Structure 1
Amino acid sequence: MFLKLKAILLASVLAIPALAQEELPIVPQPRNVEFLNGNFAIDFNTEIVNADGLFKNSSQYLQWELQKRFRINLANRNAGSGENCIKFTRTRDKDMPGEGYELVVRPGEIIIAANSEKGAFYGCISLLQMVAAAQQDGGKMLLPACLVTDEPLYGWRGFMLDESRHFFGKDAVKDILDWMAYYKLNKFHWHLTDEPAWRLMIQGYPFLAYVGGVGSWSNPYLPAQFYTQDDVREIIEYAAARQIEVIPEIDMPGHATAANKAYPEFSGGGSKDHPEFTFNPGNEGTYSYLSRILRETNTLFPAAKIHLGGDEVSFGNGKWATDPGIQQLMKSGKLKDLKAVEQYFMERMADSVMAMGSQVLAWDEMADVDLPRDSTIIYWWRHDQPKQLKKALDNGYRTVICPRLPFYFDFVQDSTHKVGRKWGKQYVPLERVYGFDAATLVPSSQQQLILGIQANLWTERVENVQRLQFMLFPRICALSEACWSLPASRDFPSFQQRMKYQYKLFDQAHIYYYKPGREEKP
């Protein structure tokens, strides 16, 4: 199990080299850093001041993190003397983006200025990273005086965890959210349904969890593992405190094996390799059934976004060709082939989601479907099919960039690794993640359609938390910089220098991260 980030105490500070003035250890790299004269000393008389009363959540988070991680107990007030304080305030720069912030460290005070709670939170995170590398002087923590002005490259900085194939549980998810927050990632895509298992309790259809939740990719006989709705609410609240939005995925019409195990009357059949793989588009009851599931999911998750999958349907839709109900649908709807049936199905399910006031998210196969542009987000994942990215953008869809190479973190990090995926001889080392520049793939006229970047961790070969750590760390840091920092400012040697501080944190947290020579444990 991950040792929680919040449990890294004062020992971590003592173990990390003192922060040099020529660099800040912040990941992702801030937009602008200017060093000033002197330093600020945090001691037990330092106060946190929420000057405008606007950034209560961020000031409380800073107070809590300093206490939990560093055993520094600071008072948190709405007003203060202005001396020896960390002050949250609204920026005078009205044009600063919502996720932007200004961090001023100078003798006597630290100021975090922003236009929104999100910006204040990211300023707080940058300060926490500086504290983690601070020099100790007689019980004080010395931070170099500096001016940081910062904002993200992209508003969508995501990570997807597949828990259908292997289930990791609430504590592991919370730890991932802690590290996501620490590196300013803000979208947690939760892949809860697929072939091996269904991991979400739906009150209207409880067998989805009790029957569909049985087993995993590696062991079909494991007792049911799933999240109750109270579990989900707890995780959503935990994520929200860290400025992270939780987005559920209910995969359809393919990857439905676990659901069909629970409610076989809605199955559209499958193939030898993918049995009972699809929902049945020719059964009118399927649409009512799935709409109820989506309605309950939408009520549970406040993001007002549901990912509907829509990928790889051809893996197991062969029986559609002989199903009487589907044949009747094709005739009455003038659907010329099974691809048209698939598109008809997705249009109906998308309408169901949009009728609830939520947005539809889907993999890049759905760029072929005529869905409302203002309510649909496409995820381009097939790096070998750039035409799907072009099609999505040409059709006006907002798009999240998450190509297998380099953002599928089930791909190995080292050419010698045997467990995990490769694409021919290609794999996903840290430098390849770090160096990714989405702008090189997209014409300047369509850049505004790119919402951001996401990494996806599929878990066929990830059976436990230690393996999960090995595949995620340190690539999560390179992901954060690819999402946040301008490509022109990125420098891999500089990143490696800043990563020295992060590796120390990983060691203190007992993270089993990848490094050359470390045993690759399945």
Structure 2
Amino acid sequence: MIKNSLILLVALFFACQANAQEVLPLIPKPLKAAKQTGSFTLSQQTQIVANSEVKQLAQYLQAELLRYQGLSIRTADKAAENYISLTLVNNRGKKNAAWYQLAISPNKIEIKATQPEGLFAGISSLLQLVRQQSVNKKVVELASWEIEDEPIYAWRGLMLDESRHFFGKEKVKQLLDWMAFYKLNKFHWHLTDQPGWRIEIKAFPKLTLVGGIGSHSDSLAKAQYYTQEDIKEIVAYAAQRYIDVIPEIDMPGHATAANKAYPEFSGGGSPKYPEFTFNPGKESTYQYLTQILREVDVLFPSQMIHIGADEVHFGNQHWNKDEAVQSLMKSKNLKDLPAVEAYFVKRMADSIKDLNNEVLAWDEIVSGTLSTEKTTVFWWRHDKPEILKDALQKGYQVVLCPRLPLYFDFVQEDSHVVGRKWAGNFVHWQSVYQFPTKEITALPNANTLIRGIQANVWTEVIVDAQQLDYKIFPRIAALAEAAWTPSQLKDQTAFESRLKSHFKLFTAEGLYFFNPFNQKASPELLTPAQRKGLLPDNEAQTAAEKGTIK
């Protein structure tokens, strides 16, 4: 009996070892994956076979293999052996634009898709596998797999706030690289807010020259912003990675920086939030903002503009005595300030739609009068689930980005001090991974109206690139799997194992990331100001816990 038990234990041990070796080290986890026999030898003799229709994708694959593994791979019209083929196929049963098949066999690697976006997803999977293997004398050995894959959500997003602290073009490109690595495809760029205006508008140059001065931690910081040439460069960089860049031009609130530059369009504010709003009572305000949006439209081919439209009540008290606003209320029979806000939002939304753009806005618009046509609501107030239900009931498309668990400026552990908590709760990678909950996905209309999910990175207390990395990594990986992989296929334990294997990639990239499995290896970084207690802003922290700021 003892001998037989030992044999059984040994057999189980080797079976577990074999299974462990057959785990596909991809994030997000594919829909289907089957291990095959043998391996493919990737070397400088390997060729990429692609016709003219997908030549740019072949060039991207070439560039990434050289960049990360030092491999110079040629392209070819046809090859006899040891090649990578990129092929668009006619599969009418597959409507998902990101659907792809990846087959790695001893003689070839085949990536097939119905659309270029799917081919790119397959290339991203291949590159992720390649980057996790060592290079020995310009050779990489890849295990054979057959993969079929597609995402559950079309919107897989990350938002970066650069009004409060500015990070610059190269950092944004690095984030876009990691988004592509994890198959995230929507970059929401928060470019205007109270501390600074970060996008050049040629018709109104003072928006950046004056409005670009300052940050959340230093009101006298030199003007920092993106020129229109910078914007074009970043948008093109993102497009090569099949990422849409969506600008946010916040209105009618969060307008302090703009009003510093052009006070004639200010609607005033409140004692705590001075010069917080644009003036909805002046016709010139609508002409001014529409001209800004016209330039924004030219710069961003995504055909989506986010107008914020949140937290207006912080600073609209001056509207009660502003002559232009009071005249508007009488002429349009607007009974209160929320009605004025709704009027403003509808007019600016109409301007955006006239530019053939979709209107995106935070969830405050659900209580307004905006039509559901070409409109998407971003549900951010996790403590107000009734707003999400109302949005779905009214027929709005929705992107899920609730504070808990998708605000990456929240701390990752209870002991961390740089960032926010909500009633003592923080945002661990596990809570990101388990989102969305069944309570959300079971809501009426959820299957048809929820476009996807997005993490938001607000930067009041994120003052430099290292702190930004620390907040984003490794939670971005959990976000990717939550947005891509069906809930029934998710396995938190297996994900943890795959996640750990990605840490060496973070290190190789020079990222200072949070290691939740070895916290002593990655202690939280504090700037000198934060060590002195100047940040985080205790007043802002208290307001956040009360639900009064984003």
Scaled to the shorter chain, the TM-score interval is over 0.9
Give, in whole Å, the separation in 1 of the partners of 2:255 and 2:37: 61
Report 1:319-338 matches (<5 A). Answer: 319-338=318-337
- Structure 2 partner of 1:16: none
Give, in whole Å, the separation in 2 of the partners of 1:123 and 1:55: 13
1:269-288 C-alpha deviation (Å, 9 max, x unpaired): 11122110000111111111
Give, in whole Å, the separation in 2 of the partners of 1:441 and 1:147: 33
1:2-36 C-alpha deviation (Å, 9 max, x unpaired): xxxxxxxxxxxxxxxxx964111111111110011
The question of 1:248 aligning with 2:252 is answered no
The question of 1:425 aligning with 2:424 is answered yes
What TM-score does the superposition give when structure 2 sets the normalisation length? 0.89
- Structure 1 partner of 2:433: 434
What runs of 5+ residues in structure 1 fail to find an aligned partner?
A: 1-18
Q: CA deviation at 1:132?
A: 1.6
Give, in whole Å, the separation in 2 of the partners of 1:140 and 1:167: 40
Report 1:367-406 matches (<5 A). Answer: 367-406=366-405
Q: Structure 1 residues 204-213 or 128-137, which shifts more?
A: 128-137
The question of 1:521 aligning with 2:525 is answered yes
The question of 1:143 aligning with 2:147 is answered no
SS in 2 for 1:227: coil
1:190-244 C-alpha deviation (Å, 9 max, x unpaired): 0000000000110000000000000000001111101000000000000000000
Give, in whole Å, the separation in 2 of the partners of 1:446 and 1:124: 31
Give, in whole Å, the separation in 1 of the partners of 2:116 and 2:253: 39
Q: CA deviation at 1:499?
A: 1.1
1:81-127 C-alpha deviation (Å, 9 max, x unpaired): 2x100111123533222101000011100000001111001100101
- Structure 1 partner of 2:91: 93
Q: CA deviation at 1:374?
A: 2.4
Q: CA deviation at 1:39?
A: 1.0
The question of 1:117 aligning with 2:116 is answered yes
Q: Give 1:456's aligned amino acid.
A: N
SS in 2 for 1:394: helix
Give, in whole Å, the separation in 2 of the partners of 1:109 and 1:440: 44
Give, in whole Å, the separation in 2 of the partners of 1:136 and 1:322: 70
- Structure 2 partner of 1:504: 504
- Structure 2 partner of 1:477: 477
1:320-364 C-alpha deviation (Å, 9 max, x unpaired): 111111111111110000000000000000011111111110000
Report 1:260-299 matches (<5 A). Answer: 260-299=259-298
Give, in whole Å, the separation in 1 of the partners of 2:378 and 2:437: 13
Any conservation in 2 of the 1:215–1:221 contact (CA below 8 Å)? yes
SS in 2 for 1:521: coil
Give, in whole Å, the separation in 2 of the partners of 1:305 and 1:197: 22
- Structure 2 partner of 1:7: none
Q: Give 1:519's aligned amino acid.
A: P
Give, in whole Å, the separation in 2 of the partners of 1:194 and 1:423: 23
- Structure 1 partner of 2:3: none
Give, in whole Å, the separation in 2 of the partners of 1:378 and 1:290: 21
Q: Give 2:171's aligned amino acid.
A: A
Q: CA deviation at 1:316?
A: 0.5
Q: Structure 1 residues 430-439 or 233-242, which shifts more?
A: 430-439
Any conservation in 2 of the 1:156–1:452 contact (CA below 8 Å)? yes
Q: CA deviation at 1:68?
A: 1.1
1:367-404 C-alpha deviation (Å, 9 max, x unpaired): 12222322111100000001111111111010000000
**Relative to 1, partners in 2 of residues 1:109 and 1:315: Cα closer, same or farther, differing over 3 Å?**
same
SS in 1 for 2:110: strand
Any conservation in 2 of the 1:164–1:191 contact (CA below 8 Å)? yes
- Structure 1 partner of 2:409: 410
Any conservation in 2 of the 1:305–1:361 contact (CA below 8 Å)? yes
Any conservation in 2 of the 1:452–1:483 contact (CA below 8 Å)? yes
- Structure 2 partner of 1:61: 60
Q: CA deviation at 1:447?
A: 1.4
- Structure 2 partner of 1:8: none
Give, in whole Å, the separation in 2 of the partners of 1:458 and 1:263: 25
**Relative to 1, partners in 2 of residues 1:108 and 1:92: Cα closer, same or farther, differing over 3 Å?**
farther
Give, in whole Å, the separation in 2 of the partners of 1:138 and 1:226: 44
Any conservation in 1 of the 2:47–2:83 contact (CA below 8 Å)? yes
Q: Structure 1 residues 128-137 or 500-509, which shifts more?
A: 128-137
- Structure 1 partner of 2:169: 170
Which structure has more relative contact order (CA 8 Å, sep 6+)? It is: 1
Give, in whole Å, the separation in 2 of the partners of 1:339 and 1:494: 48
Any conservation in 2 of the 1:254–1:310 contact (CA below 8 Å)? yes
Q: Give 2:448's aligned amino acid.
A: Q
1:411-457 C-alpha deviation (Å, 9 max, x unpaired): 00000011110001100001010111255314254311000000000
- Structure 1 partner of 2:82: 84
Report 1:343-354 matches (<5 A). Answer: 343-354=342-353
SS in 2 for 1:54: helix
SS in 1 for 2:53: coil
Q: Structure 1 residues 494-503 or 439-448, which shifts more?
A: 439-448
Q: CA deviation at 1:137?
A: 6.1
- Structure 2 partner of 1:355: 354
How many residues end up aligned between the 2 structures?
503
Give, in whole Å, the separation in 1 of the partners of 2:222 and 2:477: 35
**Relative to 1, partners in 2 of residues 1:161 and 1:92: Cα closer, same or farther, differing over 3 Å?**
same
Q: Structure 1 residues 94-103 or 339-348, which shifts more?
A: 94-103
Any conservation in 1 of the 2:393–2:444 contact (CA below 8 Å)? no
Give, in whole Å, the separation in 2 of the partners of 1:330 and 1:107: 73
SS in 1 for 2:318: helix
- Structure 1 partner of 2:180: 181
Give, in whole Å, the separation in 2 of the partners of 1:388 and 1:354: 24
- Structure 2 partner of 1:14: none
Over the matched positions of the two proteins, sequence identity in percent amounts to 49
Give, in whole Å, the separation in 2 of the partners of 1:430 and 1:436: 10
SS in 2 for 1:379: strand
Give, in whole Å, the separation in 2 of the partners of 1:374 and 1:341: 21
What runs of 5+ residues in structure 2 fail to find an aligned partner?
A: 1-18, 527-550
Give, in whole Å, the separation in 2 of the partners of 1:38 and 1:386: 51
Q: Give 2:310's aligned amino acid.
A: D
Report 1:25-44 matches (<5 A). Answer: 25-44=25-44
Q: Give 1:404's aligned amino acid.
A: R
Give, in whole Å, the separation in 2 of the partners of 1:78 and 1:257: 56
- Structure 1 partner of 2:535: none
Any conservation in 2 of the 1:91–1:102 contact (CA below 8 Å)? no
Report 1:308-323 matches (<5 A). Answer: 308-323=307-322
Give, in whole Å, the separation in 2 of the partners of 1:276 and 1:332: 24
- Structure 1 partner of 2:488: 488
